[in-house]
Structure formats: C-alpha cells, structure tokens
Amino acid sequence: MRQNEQGHGRWGSWWLTASIGAGLLGTAGLIGCGGSSSPSPAPPPELVESAEERKEPLPAVKLAPLEPFAAPPLVELDQEASWIDRPVQDGLVLLQQAQAEETVRGTVADALALRNDSADANATILAVLGRLPKPDEADLSARIDRHVGGDLGSTNPIMISTSAEFDILGLTGFGLFSFGRDLEPFAASETVVSWQTSTDRMLDKVVLRDDLVWSDGKPITAHDIAFTFQVIMDPRVPVPAVRSGTDQLRWVEAYDDHTVVFFHKEALATNVWNINFPVLPSHIYRQTWEADPTLKDSPEHVRLEQSPVCGGPYEIVERQRGQQIVLKRRASWSTVRGEQVREEPYFEEVRFRIIEDPNTTLLALKKGEIDEMILQPEQWMTQTVDDDFYARNTKATAPEWVSFHFGWNIDTVFFRDRRVRRAMSYAFNHDEMLEKLCYSLYEPCAGIFHPDAWMAGAKKPEPYKQDLDKAEALLDEAGWIDHDNDGVRDKEIDGRSVPFEFSIMVNQQPLRIAICTLLKENLDQIGVRLNVRPVESTVLQDLTQNHRFQAYFGGWGSGTDPDTSENLWKTGAMRNFCNYSNPEVDRLYEEGRQEFDRAKRAEKYARIQEILSDDQPYTWLYWRNSFYGFSKDLRGYVFSPRGPYHYSPGFGSLWKPRQE
C-alpha cells in the first residue's frame, strides 16, 4: 500500500517494495478530497515500501509524554505577533480556473474512441476526459466502484498508514489543509475561514468555519483539533505514521470553538506540513481513550471501528472485511441548519472493492464491476490493447514521483568503498532494464528528486550507463582483484581472503526479480557473484530497517517537500537503511529546512542530490509512472506527481455524466 500522506509529507517516504502494481505507492491521499477538495491533509512525503504492508509503526525513537505548555492568551499573541495571511483555497475551483484556460483538444466521443497507444493519444484522453463537468452535466446520484489492493487496518483517521487507508479515510476524514497539483499547500476553504502565520514563523493561527458538523450531528470545533494533537502525541497510543511531523509541534491550543493556534518548536520551512494532521471527534473519544489508549480494543472502540463518526464529505455505511467498503455522501456535509453551505461531492456512493490479485482486478474492470484500477506495466502493454478492454474502458498514464533503486549497505566490507558502489552502478545494464524489462514505459532515474521537481535544481545528475571496463577498473582500484584465480574477485580483509559474493533482497515480484537477475548476470561478467534472494515484503522491511542486509531492491514515493527525504539520508535517520553518513548532507538538510527562499532552498537540495549521486549509496534505476484504467463512464481524472487521487481536488474532480 502506499502510505500516504496525509500528513503532509510528513510521513515520509513509503516503501515501495512491495507492490508494484497493486498498490503501489502510496500516495497520499488527501484526506478529504471529497467532493471537492476537502480539507485535507497534506501530502505525504515519501513512500513506503510496499506500502501495503506497512501496518506497524516505524520503529520510533522512544517518545516522551508531551510536556504541559501554558499557552499565552490570544490577545497577547495578537499583540506580539504580526500575522501574514496564507492562502485559503478550494482545490476544485483552482482546477476549474486552470481548465478554463486550456484549449479544448477534441470531443468526448473522439477521445473515448481513441486507443491510448501514443503520447499524443494519451494527452488527448487526459485533456478531454479530464475536464470538470459543466453545470448540470454531472450525475449527482452516481456511484463509483473503486479498487483497493488491500483492506483497511483501521478506520480511525489517526491510524492512517497504508494507501488503502489514504484512499478511504481521505474521503471520510476531516482536515484543515490540503495541497494542489503543484504540491503547494493551502488551507481548504470548505473548512477554514482564515489561516495566518506569524512573521517569525513560530505560530500558525486558523479560524474554522462555523457550519461544520460530524456525521452524528455534533459541531466540529477547534477543540477537536487541540484534543487530537494530545492523542497523537500520547506515547501510549500506537500511531503508525501521523506522529512524524506532528511531533515537531510544541502545542496546539483552541482559544474558542473556531480559533486554533499551532505553536512550533522551531521556525522551519516544513511547518506548513506539520500542522496538517487528521482530526478525531473529541466528544466521542474524550470519554473513551483514557480507558483504552490503543483506540481499538475496548467494546466502545470496536463499535467505532465498524461505524466511525466521520467529518469528511462521505461516511462509511458498510464494511465487509476483505470484500468491500461502502461510503455514502452525507447530507450534513453540504447542508447545515437547512442551508446549503458547500457543494455536494459528485458521487452519491463510493464503493471500494478489495481485490488483491492484479489479474482478477483487470477481469473485474473488463466486466464493468469496477470503474478504475492501477495497471501493471505488463497489463498496460499487452492486456489492455484490444476491443475486449476498450469496449468499456480507456486508460491513461502520467509521470509520478516514485523511484526504485538498489540500496548498498555501507556497513559491509563490500560497499564501504565508494568506488565499489560506483562500480556496481557502472556494471548494471540500465538500458536493457529500461527497454526490455520495463518495456520503455519508465524514465531513467539518477537521483533522489524527480527532474520535474523544483528541488531538483538546474543541474541534474546524469543517469549511469553500463560501462564494464570502468566498473572493472574501479573494482581493481578498490583492491577487489581475483588473487587466487578462481574467477571471483577477492580482497584480503583482516588477514582473510574475502570473495566478492553477496546477496540482494527483493520483493516477490516478477519484474523486480528480473531486474535483480539482470544485475546478477552483469556482475557475473566482471567476476562478482550475486545471489538474488526474494523475500516477503514484511521480511524485507524488517531486515532493511535493522540494517541486516548486504543489498536490497526498493523504492520510495516522493513526499511533497524535499525535507521529507531527510529521514533517508541523515546520519542515523530511521530509514537510512544503507547507513549512509555525510556531514555535509546532514548540514544541508538543516539549512534547507531553515531557508524560506525557494530558489535558495532548491540549491541546497540540488547539492544534496549531487553529493548522493557521486557517493551512490543507491544505484538509482527508474521513475515509475502512473498507469490507470478507467471506465468510459468516468470523467475528470487529472494526474499530479502523486497520482490522480492523492492531492486536492484529486478524487474530488472525478464525475460521471448524466445518462441521456
């Protein structure tokens, strides 16, 4: 699954090792994307490995209970701080404005008749079928059948972690903030009246709208937000993902029902993401959470798990484990006290069908049982090109910021030396992988930031190309020579001759195994022996987190902010599986966070990328694009670097036309 993001990018990257297809990465979902953009949380950061499997909390640093904080009175704050207004926007309106300026590329009938077999056809399909409805064009009583690759671990919004959870809780959860297609954060106008930041960047003040209610009819207030902060920061509560980032906040204080102030520990560029966390209904949990801090064991919590109180545009009306989850649009989202206060989301009902196997999923799409799915590259190339598929469906692709790599454990005798890591990158046949294994569907990857991203800077690292002579020269230089003439390079370490033979761990996925097998073939050619070891993704996560590996194949989804990659590269960071350590990189991350000028920030991150490219703690392989199959009844899909759903409006822009 993917993890997501609700938090704004805070939660870091997800691992992708697992599923490529299925779930892949998680993108984040926003929370709230409901009909309209809803308030949502922020984009996530990085990715998860296979996300679907990440159900356990990351091994976190032991958390101390929150120390009490005496928040100064609001009057005092207002006197001392000078406030800057921050954007309060509606993602759907932004999209409407953007689309109003686009030229129309053809008619819907033409686009539906197209076969997506060229970049041009893809662009036409996206431009024409991605448009929002004209007034009265959408069928507001429509139902969409969506696909998710795995069941929810929990319906509690602060337990969000996998991409399935982001998909679903994004529609049922309440949030104040969101981010658009460009990954720029804003407060959602559906829930927020105003958002201000103090000039010293130590405070954020948000005023909520007064026409918000939970699905049980109780008002949503600033106290819910302050309460949720306390719950998330309680070390007894097993929060898997949301705590990271939220823990950078010093305090959250509700001054009245509508005014909430976030106190930061430091002035950081990432603070805009840290204030975005999911919100619990305090009138429900205030009574129950002290008795059961797990939030899931007591009878009361079991009942809430089955039918949660929702704050987003949809509520969960049915949940069959392992089968499906049905959401219904709730009237109390758009109509409060008899008045319509918000636009209704386009779908009356959203049904999530849980299907794990990608082939079964494709059959369901072809039969019309589901309206959308993520396609595997092989499915895209070979199983979705005939009438059988195009009878009911079409498909679209777009770049997505998800990359894959080989990670080299620097704490092993083999990869301590930078020359050896570079030799690995030179040995690997990147072109063969891209053309023959990935069918030319993916772009080469040379570094940690997508070349389209602002943080990648102007000077982008060149992707490595296979050069066996160079690889051999580097290995010779590093002392790995075949001394005993047995066909395998070796080196004397501590008086013992160590042959260059190691294992690479990889998830049980045919493409990933094929890529590792190609590496094996390449290394074999230069006298290095590699054992490919496919393992379950949970085992892979466990071993990599504990640094018990020599090499692994994995992937990360990018967070919305470059700082989210800090936990991959900073010395001793949680997801620094390869034990990489470079004081300059550590310093640049610190500086990047404290720098507010985007151009200057980009320089810092571009420099980090350059250093990493030289050091090659990873051999970067490819950026994986999004591939989606959509029913011909669907309209309004617009892709962001996080895929078509996990931003604002994201899923909120999808609609079905009225039947004639």
Partner 1 sequence: MPNEPAVRRSEHRPREASRGFWAEAWSRYRRRPIGMLALGFVVFLTAVAVFAPAIAGTKPVICRYKGKLYAPCLGYFNRRWEAPIFTTDKFRGTYPQNLQDKDPQSWAVWPLVFQDPYRRVRENEWPGRSENPSRDEGRPSRLNLFGTDQYGVDIFAKMVHGTTIALLVGFVSMGLAGSIGIIVGALGGYFGGWVDMLTSRITEVVMCVPTLVLILALVAVVEKPTIWKTMAIIGATGWTGIARLTRAEFLRLKESEFVMAARAAGAGPLRIMLRHILPNALAPVLVPITFGIASAILIEGSLSFLGFGPPPPTASWGSILNSARSNLQLWWLVVFPGTGIFLTVLAYNLVGEAIQEVTDPRLREAKK
Residue from the set 349, 524, 590, 633 that interacts with partner 1 by CB under 8 A: 524
CA-based nearest residue to 92, from 151, 178, 153, 197: 178
* Residue span binding partner 1 (CB under 8 A) among the ranges 95-103, 366-374, 394-402, 529-537: 529-537
Residues 648 and 180 sit within 8 Å (Cβ to Cβ): yes
* Residue span binding partner 1 (CB under 8 A) among the ranges 28-36, 86-94, 208-216, 507-515: 507-515
Q: How far is the CB of 555 from partner 1 (least distance, A)?
A: 19
Number of shown-chain residues binding partner 1 (CB under 8 A): 39
Q: How far is the CB of 480 from partner 1 (least distance, A)?
A: 13
Residue from the set 55, 250, 283, 520 that interacts with partner 1 by CB under 8 A: 520
Q: Which residues pair with 327 in a beta bridge?
A: 316, 350
Q: Which of residues 327-386 bind partner 1 (CB under 8 A)?
A: 358-359, 376, 378, 381-383
Q: How far is the CB of 17 from partner 1 (least distance, A)?
A: 14
Residue from the set 54, 146, 533, 575 that interacts with partner 1 by CB under 8 A: 533
- d(Cα 506, Cα 488) in Å, to the nearest integer? 23
Q: How far is the CB of 26 from partner 1 (least distance, A)?
A: 22
**What mask, x for binding partner 1 by CB under 8 A, covers residues 629 to 648?**
--------------------
Does the protein bind partner 1 through residue 286 (CB under 8 A)?
no
What backbone phi and psi angles, to 5 degrees, belong to 150? -160, 165
Cβ-based neighbour number of residue 167 at 10 Å: 31
- Among residues 97 and 485, whose Cβ is nearest to partner 1? 485
**What mask, x for binding partner 1 by CB under 8 A, covers residues 398 to 437?**
--------------------------------------xx
- Among residues 335 and 538, whose Cβ is nearest to partner 1? 538
What backbone phi and psi angles, to 5 degrees, belong to 13? -80, 160
- Are β-strands 501-507 and 551-557 bridged in parallel, bridged antiparallel, or unpaired? parallel
Residue from the set 123, 202, 354, 439 that interacts with partner 1 by CB under 8 A: 439
Q: How far is the CB of 360 from partner 1 (least distance, A)?
A: 11
CA-based nearest residue to 406, from 313, 530, 300, 282: 530
DSSP letter at 157? G
Q: How far is the CB of 521 from partner 1 (least distance, A)?
A: 5
Q: Which of residues 70-109 bind partner 1 (CB under 8 A)?
A: none
- Among residues 127 and 535, whose Cβ is nearest to partner 1? 535
Residue from the set 514, 573, 574, 611 that interacts with partner 1 by CB under 8 A: 514
CA neighbours within 13 Å on the CB side: how many for 473?
5
- d(Cα 626, Cα 616) in Å, to the nearest integer? 26
- d(Cα 277, Cα 84) in Å, to the nearest integer? 22
- Among residues 340 and 359, whose Cβ is nearest to partner 1? 359
> Where does residue 260 fall: left (phi above 0), alpha (psi -120 to 50 degrees), or beta otherwise?
beta
What backbone phi and psi angles, to 5 degrees, belong to 123? -65, -40
Residue from the set 287, 360, 525, 571 that interacts with partner 1 by CB under 8 A: 525
Tokens standing for 259?
């005014």
- Are β-strands 393-398 and 529-535 bridged in parallel, bridged antiparallel, or unpaired? unpaired
Residue from the set 96, 466, 517, 582 that interacts with partner 1 by CB under 8 A: 517
Give 526's contacts (C-beta < 8 A, 6+ positions apart).
Answer: 423, 427, 468, 471, 472, 475, 489
DSSP 430-456: HHHIIIIISTT-SEE--SSS-TTSGGG
- Among residues 124 and 508, whose Cβ is nearest to partner 1? 508
Q: How far is the CB of 532 from partner 1 (least distance, A)?
A: 5
Residues 652 and 33 sit within 8 Å (Cβ to Cβ): yes
Q: Which of helix, strand or coil describes residue 527?
A: coil
- d(Cα 43, Cα 30) in Å, to the nearest integer? 7
Q: How far is the CB of 47 from partner 1 (least distance, A)?
A: 23
Q: How far is the CB of 431 from partner 1 (least distance, A)?
A: 12
CA-based nearest residue to 406, from 421, 389, 391: 421
Q: How far is the CB of 625 from partner 1 (least distance, A)?
A: 17
CA-based nearest residue to 438, from 385, 379, 378: 378
Q: How far is the CB of 486 from partner 1 (least distance, A)?
A: 6
Residues 632 and 392 sit within 8 Å (Cβ to Cβ): yes
Q: How far is the CB of 156 from partner 1 (least distance, A)?
A: 30
- Among residues 105 and 520, whose Cβ is nearest to partner 1? 520
Residue with tokens 């720029």: 184
Residue from the set 112, 140, 267, 539 that interacts with partner 1 by CB under 8 A: 539
Tokens standing for 170?
């994004």
Q: Which residues pair with 143 in a beta bridge?
A: 349
Residue from the set 510, 571, 584, 587 that interacts with partner 1 by CB under 8 A: 510
* Residue span binding partner 1 (CB under 8 A) among the ranges 125-133, 483-491, 561-569, 601-609: 483-491
Cβ-based neighbour number of residue 199 at 10 Å: 11
Residues that bind partner 1 (CB under 8 A): 358-359, 376, 378, 381-383, 436-437, 439, 468, 472, 482, 485-488, 503, 508, 510, 513-514, 516-518, 520-521, 524-527, 529, 531-536, 539
